[in-house]
Structure 1
């Protein structure tokens, strides 16, 4: 009887801990306030945010390594004005103009002109509707499967590959930027 109560108590504590973590991660976003963001990027996983300053791109990159450096770099290249330097923009302005969210509710609440569903995992959670436009697809001469490197768009929502240089090369970045500039 005592063992059963102990196991029940431990189970409840563990469940509360995991539910608490889930709520914490879901409420975490990076960058501009959701209501002010020009662009919203919905990603499947939040970075490690042990740092006290969640508004500093460099500290998050240092703490989380090359993976998040790539994500922020691709986002900066997509968001920066054509005449500006994306490197400077990433450090000085990225978090002032765009929002990174990690749950569907924040993504759907956003009124941003362009909203990105990043990666296959999230495309499964928010499937691509019928009648979308394809603004980029890798050519038949590419070594990789073309369906892995395409961007579909419907009413300001863009379904994209994950933000990694192999899946989201500069040619794809240029195509998406051109599309957004025409819609601006």
Structure 2
């Protein structure tokens, strides 16, 4: 089975998010390698959990923060790649967000990584960013803002 690559292709993605769990997709078979779906349709199918994931991704990467809703709904999957296996990022040369703890045993946090946050932490050693799972209990707005500010400076 080939792994699902959701959103912008490896050639076009401004950044890639490596997530531990795939969303439910309509009509997907085992041979699908790239899927382009509407964010609203994916939220309808997967519920509030994936609305939060898309919202946090949008807030992290939108060019102008005040436009995150429009970006999430209209541009996110045209500019951001979302993958579910480490093997999928081996040839990617842009910024990779490693989400949650699932991949940390095989893709550990660099000892040189900058630590951001107080209670909830993100680690940055570009081109890699290790962050908490994309849920507001683990990834509050203050951490989103700190990570945005740091990455925009680099």
Cα-Cα RMSD? 1.6
Alpha-carbon separation, structure 2, partners of 1:98 and 1:158: 15
Alpha-carbon separation, structure 2, partners of 1:154 and 1:108: 16
Q: Is the 8 Å Cα contact of residues 51 and 59 (structure 1) preserved in structure 2?
A: no
Which residue of 1 is the match for residue 126 of structure 2?
155
- How far residue 122 of structure 1 moved from its aligned partner, in angstroms, is 1.7
Of residues 101, 123, 128, the one that matches 2:104 is 123
Which residue of 1 is the match for residue 142 of structure 2?
171
Gaps spanning 5+ residues in structure 2: where?
A: 29-34
Which residue of 2 is the match for residue 29 of structure 1?
5
More helix by share: 1
Q: Is the 8 Å Cα contact of residues 35 and 111 (structure 1) preserved in structure 2?
A: no
Q: Is the 8 Å Cα contact of residues 20 and 99 (structure 2) preserved in structure 1?
A: yes
Superposition TM-score, scaled by structure 1 size: 0.75
Alpha-carbon separation, structure 2, partners of 1:123 and 1:100: 17
Is structure 2 residue 132 aligned with structure 1 residue 132? no
Q: Is the 8 Å Cα contact of residues 54 and 60 (structure 1) preserved in structure 2?
A: no
Where does structure 1 differ by over 2 angstroms across 4 or more consecutive aligned residues? Answer: 51-54
Q: Which moved more, 1:156-165 or 1:101-110?
A: 101-110
Alpha-carbon separation, structure 1, partners of 2:52 and 2:27: 19
Alpha-carbon separation, structure 1, partners of 2:37 and 2:10: 14
Provide the aligned length of Structure 1 versus Structure 2.
148
Superposition TM-score, scaled by structure 2 size: 0.89
Greater RCO (Cα-Cα under 8 Å, separation 6 or more): 2
Which residue of 1 is the match for residue 32 of structure 2?
none
Greater Cα radius of gyration, structure 1 or 2: 1
Q: Which moved more, 1:52-61 or 1:70-79?
A: 52-61
Cα 1:137–1:95 change in 2 (3 A) is same
